[in-house]
Amino acid sequence: MRKIYLKSITLTAFITAVLYSNSSVAQLNLNPNNLNLGEVHGNFEANAQYYIPDSTIGAAEVPEKMLVNGYANIIYTKGKFTAGIRYESYLNGLQGYPSGFKGTGIPYRFATYKADELEVTVGSFYEQFGNGLTIRCYEQRSLGLDNALDGIRLKYKPFKGVYLKGLVGKQRSFFTTGPGLVRGFDGEIQLNEAFAKLADKKTVITLGGSFVSKFQTDADPTLVLPQNVGNSAGRFSITRNNFQMNGEYAYKINDPSQDNGFNYKYGDAILLQANYAVKGFAISLNGSRIDNMSFRSDRTAQLTNLLINYVPALSKQHTYSLLAFYPYASQARGEIEYSTEVKYKIKKETALGGKYGTEITINYSGANSLDTTRIKGEDRGHLGYTSNYLGVGKEVYFRDLYIEITKKINKTWKGSLIYAHQIYNKSIIQKPGSPSIHSNIVVADITYKLKPTSALRLELQNLQTKQDHQDWAYVLLEYTINENWFIAAGDQYNYGNEHVKERYHYYLVNVGYAKKANRITLSYGKQREGIFCVGGVCRNVPASNGFSLSITSSF
């Protein structure tokens, strides 16, 4: 019996030893010389919504009940080599997303290798030349916008301070690519880097130029459509001490498309920006003139599909919901836009500054139509109109006067008070035939710090207008329980609607948990129908009601 017991112990020890040694051998075999096998990183995001129909706010019934958008990036890096994929899943795509987002696939995959001064990318990539007037390929997931290029890109640095880029590809269109080819070249020289004599100068100057051409077959029996359309631009940037200024001019040849009503007029754009900042004071001035600058790789594409270039938005980008209620969308067909912002901090220990100082921000932005004259009589060239370059059209597209005062009262209390007056030409920006909306908005944001990682925040917002759906109020209370948990409840109330029965509440409750690289948010509530914009690019959002779950994670 004792022998049997000893035997069994020996056998167990042997098996354990073999198993252990086998696993050790396996590990050693995978990397016998302790080689650098590179690293794999990635992230994951899923947004799910369970829809409950609500006819009062126009939330339609969704046959699937629940819709999910999912994304996962997996990127492998080893030294100068990087490769990656993005898996996307729309089962089916969330309401309000472009209907082309359906199903699953790997629409984004790339490999990049850097060999000294040359960097080569094949597959999918994003790119921007200058301010984006000739090309800006980017992803804005919240808009359902992804105009990545699928092709080849080269980046080359022939001399110190000289940067060149060349690319060719087709643009992403949902799970396929658009019909047009995009070819581009960009060159930039940083004079202070390139010339040793300028290396120590205070004035830093950068010059650049780009050219982008698209090709699309002409199959039109009635019109002679240009198959190759070029868009070129030149730019500069000057920085001296606290002053910075940059500008860009772009010129596009005849590009008849659905966006411009198959107009054969050239397009051009000029953008100028200047900033000056010292401690406690900053000022920025921005202006642009855009004329017929829509540039897509499919002349019939609409909405946010297959955009090659980008018309920068100069208006203030708001985060408070009622300030962003009527957001301005840049008008690539034509506009004159401007903005100026002054920030000033009243010093500490003064009558107005108090113990911590007081920050004041004033922003004024606006946009008007171009000063154009329609071509009367025979218009053999299909040019449509002429525009007075130095003139400003009479039609107001947008105005926003914004005044913000932010103050920290003591170690536990701080707050912001904002007033804004906006004019929003809904007929141009959103729905033709709509009246212009003049609104006054007041926002108060108060934070009370309970502990170093715990705080209560209250937002009170009010929007008053005689147009559209009239007056709105919004209240949000957010409680950050600790560094991991938060809970928030808000209600947007259309209390001034002239149709009393349509004075709807749009309430929303959020609970969120975040720890290290993982974040989970669960919400329940209603979303009003409206327009959602990021950087002047917008999409319509339908009304919805239900539960939402958002999960993000990275490794």
* Least separation in angstroms between CB 211 and another protein: 6
**Alpha helices (H) along 235-390:** none
* Least separation in angstroms between CB 98 and another protein: 11
* Least separation in angstroms between CB 165 and another protein: 8
State which residue, 249 or 493, has the beta carbon closest to another protein. 249
Cα–Cα distances in angstroms (integers) from residue 119 to residues 44, 122, 155, 534, in the given order: 27, 10, 5, 31
Question: What tokens does 501 get?
Answer: 């029965």
CB environment 360-392: b (16+ within 10 A), e (fewer): ebebbbbbbbbbeeeeeeeeeeeebeebeeeee
Which residues are bridge partners to 403 per DSSP? 362, 419
* Least separation in angstroms between CB 221 and another protein: 5
Q: Which residues contact 267 (CB under 8 A, 6 or more apart)?
A: 231, 251, 252, 255, 260, 291, 292, 293, 294, 295
Distance between CA atoms of 416 and 414, rounded to whole angstroms? 7
* Least separation in angstroms between CB 50 and another protein: 22
Q: Is the dihedral of CA 57, 61, 66, 69 positive or negative?
A: negative
State which residue, 54 or 395, has the beta carbon closest to another protein. 395
State which residue, 142 or 227, has the beta carbon closest to another protein. 227
Question: What tokens does 201 get?
Answer: 């100068």
Distance between CA atoms of 91 and 66, rounded to whole angstroms? 9
State which residue, 182 or 463, has the beta carbon closest to another protein. 182
Question: What tokens does 95 get?
Answer: 């309401």
Question: What tokens does 483 get?
Answer: 């560094």
Cβ-based burial of 406 (10 A; exposed 0-12, middle 13-18, buried ≥19): middle
State which residue, 63 or 79, has the beta carbon closest to another protein. 63
* Least separation in angstroms between CB 118 and another protein: 7
Residue 551's CB is within 10 A of a number of other CB atoms, namely 15
> Would you say 442 and 419 are in contact if contact means Cβ atoms under 8 Å apart?
yes
DSSP state for residue 292 in the 8-state scheme: S
State which residue, 230 or 415, has the beta carbon closest to another protein. 230
State which residue, 51 or 474, has the beta carbon closest to another protein. 51
Alpha-carbon Rg for the chain, nearest whole angstrom, is: 28
* Least separation in angstroms between CB 173 and another protein: 14
Q: Which residues contact 116 (CB under 8 A, 6 or more apart)?
A: none
Question: What tokens does 392 get?
Answer: 């400003």
Distance between CA atoms of 55 and 442, rounded to whole angstroms? 30
State which residue, 168 or 458, has the beta carbon closest to another protein. 168
State which residue, 227 or 412, has the beta carbon closest to another protein. 227
Question: What tokens does 148 get?
Answer: 């990545």
State which residue, 50 or 215, has the beta carbon closest to another protein. 215
Q: Is the dihedral of CA 154, 157, 158, 164 positive or negative?
A: positive
* Least separation in angstroms between CB 381 and another protein: 7
* Least separation in angstroms between CB 91 and another protein: 15
Question: What tokens does 181 get?
Answer: 């080819």
> Would you say 513 and 522 are in contact if contact means Cβ atoms under 8 Å apart?
no
* Least separation in angstroms between CB 338 and another protein: 20
Residue type, 25: V
Residue type, 102: K
For binding to another protein (CB under 8 A), which residues are involved?
99, 118, 154, 156, 158-159, 164, 166, 168, 183-185, 187, 211, 213, 215, 219-230, 253-254, 256-258, 261-262, 264, 299-300, 302, 333, 369, 380-382, 395, 427-428, 431-433
* Least separation in angstroms between CB 164 and another protein: 5
State which residue, 102 or 355, has the beta carbon closest to another protein. 102
Cα–Cα distances in angstroms (integers) from residue 247 to residues 129, 241, 368, in the given order: 13, 18, 20
State which residue, 323 or 428, has the beta carbon closest to another protein. 428
* Least separation in angstroms between CB 463 and another protein: 24
* Least separation in angstroms between CB 188 and another protein: 12
DSSP state for residue 451 in the 8-state scheme: E
Distance between CA atoms of 338 and 360, rounded to whole angstroms? 20
* Least separation in angstroms between CB 316 and another protein: 24
State which residue, 179 or 353, has the beta carbon closest to another protein. 179
Distance between CA atoms of 392 and 369, rounded to whole angstroms? 7
**3-class DSSP assignment, residue 91:** coil
State which residue, 382 or 449, has the beta carbon closest to another protein. 382
